Structure 1
Amino acid sequence: MKQMIVHCSQHMTRMALLEEGRLVEYAAERAEQQGLVGSYYKGRVMNVLPGMQAAFVDIGQKKNAFLYVDDVLHPHLEKQPRVKPSIDTLLQPGQEIVVQVRKGPRGNKGPRVTTHYTLPGRWMVYMPFAEYVGVSKKIARESERSRLKALGERLRIDEEGLIMRTVSEDEPPEAVEGDLAVLRAQWKEIMRRSLKAEAPALLHRDLSIVQRFIRDAFDPQRDELLIDSQQGAREAEAYLSEIAPEGHKPVERYTGTGPIFAAYGVEEQLERGFSRKITLDGGATLIWDEAEALTVIDVNTAQYTGGASLEETVTRTNLLAAEEIGRLIRLRDTGGIIVIDFIDMELEEHRKMVVAQLESVVSRDRTKTCILGWTRLGLLEMTRKKVRHDALELSTRPCECCGGTGRTTVWNTGQE
């Protein structure tokens, strides 16, 4: 069973997802950024840069959005030209264009946008121009994959594309078809608004952070939802009734005296999970260092001495670390390149065990993750897609003394 704990304030909404009492996902969203990722805008091309194969588009945000050439070409890879054309043959300054936000702004970067449009529903993702049907890789049964593939091909028309989501497994055709009808109507409304709107203009806002997690990671019949806001509880109840008309667990309004995150142990788990040094059961440690596009995780036995031999101790430590790293990557929403320095193991079978353990944990992650394998230096490489705001960035700020390095200088100060 999962518990979804939501804290609402005037400026920010924070959401924690617990599985059997353990924190596995955390997200935060500022009020002014609500629903930015996934939303549609009618924008105006401001600059076209052939040297970067990119354009900057005004969508009405503080910073112009970045549109790369791959996000202008046809969404079906097989229909793209073998040699990419120059972006100035595809877009011109002053041109008006409908775009969808793929990634929110971060630091000095504006949002990233695309013309590969997608509309996620309960059972599927609708793509108006993709021209293919895909099935979630997490659906293992080949018979069910074939059924959903055939169902999607029967339902789609013209250039439409569909991706059948994991939750569509064993769902009746009527439910899937109803979902598609809703998504088609949404797309038609977006196109209707685009004809009337003057750029830059918002055409369609994506769901709030609470609604997105209900749609993507929540079982209305089994999971619990607790919110400390009366308005938030009403909105969540209305959305649940919309996507689960057959019935759902009622939303629980938290009325305790202390903060909701403290009452359910979320704050304590957040403090531990977002630390630079994380101590595992038994005394082993992880050292977690993040740059903008690279994360390095170092595994140390520290005080752990639980094996009959050195190789057994090292392997046990690495297996414990792999399980915790998989959970923390999801919790911290770590994206980009991830390099893990596990403790050196002598036997290849032990290295395979560690990779298998990590794969088992990340398979429960809704975000696309790829484990590439071991480097010649014995490091494990992996990548993970990232689209949301860095939750740590929203909840913290760099230290004024050290500038975010975690260290302060002593030279030229007379200190020793």
Structure 2
Amino acid sequence: MKRILVQCGQEQIEVAVLENGKLVEYDSESRGIEQLAGNMYLGRVMTVLQGMQAAFLDIGLEKNAFLYIDDILPAHLDKHPKQKPAITDLVQVGQTLLVQVVKEPVGTKGARVTTHHSIPGRWGVYMPEADYIGVSRKIENEAERTRLKQAAESQLLQGEGFIARTAAEGVAEQLLAADLEELRRRWTVVQQLVKQPGKAPRKVYTDFGLLTRWIRDGFREDVNELWVDDKEAFGSIAAMVGWSAPLLRDRVRQFDTRAGSLFSVYQVDQQLQSGFKRKIWLDNGGYLIVDYTEALTVFDVNTGKYTGSIDLEQTAYDTNLMAAKDIARLLRLRDIGGLIVIDFIDMESESNRKHVLETLLEETKKDRTKNAIAGWTRLGLVELTRKKVKDGKQKLHVIRCKVCEGTGWVWSK
């Protein structure tokens, strides 16, 4: 059973995803404060650093945005050529560039931007200047992959690119064409705004708000129910679903707040607070320790109260198996990005090690954010990476703990 819950307060809108009653994803947006990722800006180059092969642009935010050379070179070009051009040959101080935010500002770092523009739709991602056709790796049927590529190829103009999303599997070509045409129309508007007179920096494209993004990206056939606790939001969501996914319209339901708050009824607040603690208990009595560093996130698996009933190897295997599933859930819930290292309990059996890794791989396939598992290291650790868009803690009402000088967080909701 998979549920999406939408709770609308006076100050913010919150979205929670439950799978069999367990909280697996959480997102929020303060009213009047938008997400930056996906927005496009006409920025001005302020600094070009040859030694870093990067430039910094003023896009109108508090801190200058970071533009790496790979995000200036043509999209899908070999990222490791023998000789890259000097960045000073590509951009100069004072030049204006149309860039798109791919990573939100985090801590002392400004936003990361790219010149590889893309506009996501329900069925695919339109890349106006990429000249490339791709299909989501989660679509494994080769015949379907070929069909989607041919469908996109028949609709694209010269120089355009398109990536079919996982949701496009089985979708009629007419719907794909309509989606592409709408995305192309948005890009045309962006180009018109860029040509209009006006000083840089300025914003020329805004990605959809929280609710629209979730209907576009998260409301799929595997969702059994979508509950909304606000009449106005319910009407908007029902209208969006009726247009984009009419077969799912009857799964959108309005929650009666007389029974209590939506998140309280489904114990979201309780799971949210426990899910962001440093120590996470597993169902069998084992536990995880989650530590953040500047470079990576570390998960340490421990047997805790679980003593097993057969031998040490079986006890470690059982705990690691349960930990693999919960770590995959926590990556989604906390929206952890970057390099992740997992210290599982040592196991002698190679088949047990293989099964734990396969379980982790299978569970991470549920993640809508791209990730890659590198496997076991020589020291018995598991390494993986997950695409970082923004700091998951930015979604929460937390403040830095003054007692531990910023290593902990205090819930302020």
Deviation string, structure 1 residues 301-339 (Cα, Å, up to 9, x no partner): 111123412111111111111111111111111111111
Report the equivalent of 1:236. 237
Q: In the alignment, what sits opposite 1:256?
A: 258
Kept in 2, the 8 Å contact 1:236–1:251? The answer is no
| Identical aligned residues as a percent | 48
Paired residues of 1:28 and 1:391 also in contact (CA < 8 A): no
Counterparts in 2 of 1:171 and 1:406: CA distance versus 1, 3 Å: closer
Greater Cα shift, 211-220 or 167-176: 211-220
- Using structure 1 for the length normalisation, give the TM-score: 0.92
Show the 5 A alignment for 1:177-216: 177-198=177-198, 199-216=200-217
1:100: which partner in 2? 100
- Name the CA distance, whole Å, in 1 between partners of 2:328 and 2:148: 29
SS in 2 for 1:66: strand
* Equivalence for 1:85: 85
Alignment of 1:136-285 (within 5 A): 136-198=136-198, 199-219=200-220, 223-245=224-246, 248-249=249-250, 250-256=252-258, 258-285=260-287
Q: How far is the alpha carbon of 1:74 from its aligned partner?
A: 0.4
User: C-alpha separation between the residues in 1 aligned to 2:256 and 2:118?
Assistant: 35
3-state SS, counterpart of residue 51 of structure 1: helix
CA distance in 2: counterparts of 1:242 and 1:93, whole angstroms: 46
Quote the offset at 1:203 in angstroms. Answer: 1.1
Superposed, 1:285-304 pairs within 5 Å as 285-304=287-306
Q: Distance in 2 between matches of 1:246 and 1:308?
A: 50
How far residue 194 of structure 1 moved from its aligned partner, in angstroms, is 0.8
**SS, match of residue 26 in structure 1:** strand
Unaligned runs of 5+ in 2: none
1:196 & 1:392 partners in 2: Cα distance? 34
The one-letter code of the counterpart of 2:278 is R
What residue ranges of structure 1 are gaps of 5+ in the alignment? 408-416
Cα separation, 2, equivalents of 1:242 and 1:201: 32
Check 1:405–1:35 CA distance in 2 against 1; reply closer, same or farther (3 A cut). Answer: closer
Q: Any conservation in 1 of the 2:7–2:263 contact (CA below 8 Å)? A: yes
- Cα shift at 1:392: 5.5
What is the DSSP-based 3-state SS (H/G/I as helix, E as strand, rest coil) of the residue aligned with 2:227?
strand
Aligned AA for 1:152? A
The SS at the match of 1:388 is coil
Q: Please tell me whether residue 339 in structure 1 is matched to residue 338 in structure 2.
A: no
Q: Which residue is equivalent to 2:116?
A: 116
2:401 counterpart of 1:405: no
| Distance 1:14-1:247 versus aligned 2 partners, 3 A rule | closer
**Could you tell me which residue of structure 2 aligns to residue 9 of structure 1?**
9
CA RMSD in angstroms comes to: 2.1
AA matched with 1:98: L
Greater alpha carbon shift after TM alignment, 290-299 vs 341-350? 290-299
Distance 1:147 1:197 in 2: 43
Q: CA deviation at 1:221?
A: 9.3
Q: Deviations over 1:261-294 (max 9, x none)?
A: 2222101111221111111112111111112331
Change (3 A) 1:9 1:45: farther
Identify the residue that residue 371 of structure 1 maps to in structure 2: 373
Equivalent residues of 1:133, 1:153 under 8 A apart: yes
d(CA) in 2 for partners of 1:240, 1:221: 15
Q: CA shift at 1:297, angstroms?
A: 0.7
- Asked if the contact 1:307/1:316 (under 8 Å) is kept, the reply is no
User: Could you say what secondary structure the match of 1:319 adopts?
Assistant: helix
Paired amino acid for 2:276: F
- Counterpart-to-counterpart distance in 1, 2:236 and 2:395: 27
Query: CA offsets, 1:21-43, max 9 Å, x none?
Result: 22111112334541421011111
Range that drifts further, 1-10 or 290-299: 1-10
Whichever residue aligns with residue 75 of structure 2, its letter is: P
CA contact (8 A) 2:281 2:288 kept: yes
Q: 1:46 maps to what in 2? A: 46
AA aligned to 1:321 is A
In 1: Cα distance, 2:341 partner to 2:356 partner = 14
- Residue type matched to 1:190 in 2? V
Aligned residues between the structures: 407
Contact 2:3 2:223 (8 Å CA) reproduced? no
Q: Which letter does structure 2 place at the counterpart of 1:208?
A: G
2:290 aligns to what SS in structure 1? strand
What residue identity is the alignment partner of 2:158?
D
CA gap of 1:258–1:245, structure 2 versus 1, over 3 A, is: closer
Distance 1:36 1:393 in 2: 13
TM-score when normalising by structure 2: 0.93
